[in-house]
Chains A and B, each alone.
Chain A
Amino acid sequence: MRVPYSYLREQFADSEPILRDIKGLLESTQFTLGPPVAEFEERFARLCGARHAIGVGTGTDALFLSLKALGVEPGDEVITAADTFIATAGAIVQAGARPVFVDVLDDFNIDPGKIEAAITPRTRALLPVHYAGQPAKMGPILDIARRRKLPVVEDACQAISAAIDGKLVSNFGVAAGFSLHPLKNLNVWGDGGVIVTNSPELDATLRLLRNHGLKNRDEVEIFGYNCRLDSLQAIVGNHLIRDTESITAARIKNALALDAGLATLAPRVRVPKRLPNERHVFHLYMFEADDRDRLLAYLVEREIEAKIHYPVPLHLQPAGRRLGYKEGDFPVAERQAKRIITLPVHQHLSPSQVQFMIDSVAAFYRQR
């Protein structure tokens, strides 16, 4: 049975309504920061239960612009998790600052117990990642931030609709960055990103920064960037945002089924502990597995498109080693990099595909 990782063809099998709106856009030609962008920003803010949403070019730029709006500059340090997608650290470097990594917990998110030790006089912000859709431990993180007077920017690129005790991500820090990349839970037909904030000052600064610093057509308030969510992508977003809740529910349902099926395979398979007060939205379904590489090969051979997010932690990448990091700096992240595996968990999976994945993992360990 084929279990593909990508589901875009299924998701967009009937795209007539979206294409109709795109045709309308080509007639109106309001391609740049047109009405669809404002509409999408309003819907997105509402979905997050936050005051402001600003459409930008990418999730990476959402993080970068948030850091710039907070005044992060060369010579500064920003603390983030050792295992994340490259763009989290890339955004810090883009802002001219140095990424300072902190090891992670078994849930793949930053370990609050290790943050204080990473803070220096040059630390300018904390950038926890809600990795895979699992919210980071925001309670303890915010305690540290308050004590050390540091702003928190949430990397929520993978975590739309995730929550802790009913409080949605993006409402913990001063700003949060989201990605609308085609493989995200809320996706568009190309690159796109959103910044969410409850601060009117940050909102105003970010709107300048994303559009060349232009206050109006002719007046340049500050030097900025060109980093706008396309109206065309906002149109796609306006259609898909209606489905975010049902997509999220489907992913959670699939994940719970996988959790139950894989639980019996412990200790060879280790699924992170799920806490009832945390809403994990399963952009990725990740767990640790013994003999990971052979399991991956076995699953791929059975046409299950399993993946690894990611096999080499950032600090051990050529780009990370140049910052002075080495093997052994983050033992948990390093151990996980050798053991993690990601299974398809998307909303277009059938119950039999989910069962087939469970059976296949079980079969792999049985045959050995």
Chain B
Amino acid sequence: MRVKYMDLPRQFEDGTVVARVIDEFKRCQFVLGPQVAEFEGRFARACGAAHAVGLNSGTDALFFALKALGVGAGDEVITAPNSFVASAGAIVMAGATPVFVDVDAEYLMDPARLPDAITPRTRAIIPVHLTGNPADLDAIEAIATPRGLPVIEDAAQAVGAAIGGRVVGSIGTAAAFSLFPLKNLGVAGDGGMLTTRSRELFDKVMLYRHHGLRTRDEVEIWGYNSRLDTLQAIVADAVLDGLEAVTAARIRNAAFYDQALAPLAPHVVVPPRRRGVRQVFHTYVVQAERRDGLRQFLESRGVETKIHYPIPIHLQKAAAGLGYKRGAFPVSEAQSERIVSLPVHEYLTETEQHYVVDRIEEFYRR
């Protein structure tokens, strides 16, 4: 049996997205057409945020949030070392220095270690809702708010996730989402969204994304060119219709694995699940003994897996100048050698899930 890690072609196979693109494209308003504003409105409502801005990527959404908050050279911004590189990349883009805080058993920024990372130069905190699991924003805000530090949610993997009744994207000062094709809400190319409750931040980002142009002829500030393509907004709008179903399917698939893999401890360790939190499972990540052997075995049995991510950011060549050494973040480092992402996508069948679990069992029985 073949179990694909992701089944993107299925997303568009019924032809509705293509039909919408063809139909809407006739308006020929390719740059910031009305469909962008329509999608922004819907996205903001879905996140319970006051404002949403369509951008070229999730990376740019993080970068613009930092710029709008005045982050620049000489500043420090705190984030997690086990994220996709863009979390730190956006900080470097803004001219600031990324400062990492180790993570907990859920792969999320450990609030207990946060105070030690704060210095007089700290200007913002970017917790990452990695895998689609919301970081502990209550604990993080309890540390950040008294110090006057804004919290920017890296929600690139977490559209639809929630803490209690609070949906991610509506909790921090601003939040960044990615519409990258493999995301739960993915488009047919690059795209990103920034949400915020702050009118002032929203106004700035609207200028940033479009050359700082107040009108066609008036340049208020030096800006950038980072706009969600109208065509991608049309795709996003169509995909958003199915987001709740996609999320529900991923949550169901994850619950199945949680239960089925529990008996395999300590060979396979499922992260603890907090109550009252809605995880949306962009990825389903467990820690596994003999991880590389397991992956190879699964591959030979037709099961595709991935690692998110095998090298923590602080140990990347790009980070050499930041001065971190192996051992700086022991939890992240240990996890990077044990984590494996199992297929959890919305098209996975129960038969396929049984097959995946059976093969994992088989591997450890041998």
A residues adjacent to B (C-beta < 8 A): 6, 8-9, 12, 15, 19, 22-23, 25-29, 31-32, 57-61, 74, 86-87, 89-90, 93-94, 96, 181-182, 188-191, 212-214, 218-228, 230-233, 308, 310-312, 314, 317-320
Most chain A C-beta atoms within 10 Å of own C-beta, residue among B58, B60, B189: B189
C-alpha gap A15/B27 in the complex (Å): 13
Report whether A94 and B95 are in contact in the complex, using a CB–CB cutoff of 8 Å.
no
Report whether A28 and B9 are in contact in the complex, using a CB–CB cutoff of 8 Å.
yes
Q: Which residues of B contact A189 (CB under 8 A)?
A: 25, 30, 229, 231
C-alpha gap A57/B316 in the complex (Å): 25
Contact with A along B290-322 (1 / 0, CB 8 A): 000000000000000001011101001111000
Q: Which residues of B contact A12 (CB under 8 A)?
A: 28
Q: Which residues of A contact B181 (CB under 8 A)?
A: 29, 31-32
C-alpha gap A213/B313 in the complex (Å): 12
In the complex, residue of chain A having the shortest beta-carbon distance to the beta carbon of B212? A319
Report whether A190 and B229 are in contact in the complex, using a CB–CB cutoff of 8 Å.
yes
Report whether B30 and A90 are in contact in the complex, using a CB–CB cutoff of 8 Å.
no
Does chain A have a CB within 8 A of B31? yes
In the complex, residue of chain B having the shortest beta-carbon distance to the beta carbon of A312? B217
Q: Which residues of B contact A87 (CB under 8 A)?
A: 211, 225
Q: Can you offer 18 A-B residue contacts whose CB atoms are under 8 A? A: A19-B18, A22-B18, A27-B13, A31-B181, A57-B57, A86-B223, A190-B30, A190-B31, A190-B231, A212-B86, A222-B318, A226-B56, A228-B190, A231-B189, A233-B229, A312-B218, A312-B219, A314-B219
Report whether B232 and A190 are in contact in the complex, using a CB–CB cutoff of 8 Å.
yes
Main secondary structure of the interface of B (DSSP, over half): loop
C-alpha gap A317/B212 in the complex (Å): 11
- Count contacts between A and B, CB distance < 8 Å: 169
Report whether A319 and B189 are in contact in the complex, using a CB–CB cutoff of 8 Å.
no
Q: Which residues of B contact A231 (CB under 8 A)?
A: 189
Report whether A27 and B318 are in contact in the complex, using a CB–CB cutoff of 8 Å.
no
Report whether A218 and B28 are in contact in the complex, using a CB–CB cutoff of 8 Å.
no
In the complex, the 4 A-B pairs of residues with the closest C-beta atoms, listed nearest first: A230-B189, A190-B229, A60-B225, A29-B8
Report whether A61 and B225 are in contact in the complex, using a CB–CB cutoff of 8 Å.
yes
C-alpha gap A230/B276 in the complex (Å): 38
Does chain A have a CB within 8 A of B160? no
Report whether A226 and B57 are in contact in the complex, using a CB–CB cutoff of 8 Å.
yes
Q: Which residues of A contact B213 (CB under 8 A)?
A: 86
C-alpha gap A181/B31 in the complex (Å): 8
Q: Which residues of B contact A312 (CB under 8 A)?
A: 217-219
Does chain A have a CB within 8 A of B22? yes
C-alpha gap A185/B249 in the complex (Å): 46
Report whether A232 and B188 are in contact in the complex, using a CB–CB cutoff of 8 Å.
yes
Q: Please tell me which one of the listed residues A15, A31, A182 contacts residue B189 in the complex, with CB atoms under 8 A apart.
A: A31
Most chain A C-beta atoms within 10 Å of own C-beta, residue among B73, B85, B190: B190
Does chain A have a CB within 8 A of B93? yes
Q: Which residues of A contact B227 (CB under 8 A)?
A: 191
In the complex, residue of chain B having the shortest beta-carbon distance to the beta carbon of A308? B217
In the complex, residue of chain A having the shortest beta-carbon distance to the beta carbon of B21? A22
C-alpha gap A213/B85 in the complex (Å): 9
In the complex, residue of chain A having the shortest beta-carbon distance to the beta carbon of B221? A319
C-alpha gap A61/B60 in the complex (Å): 12
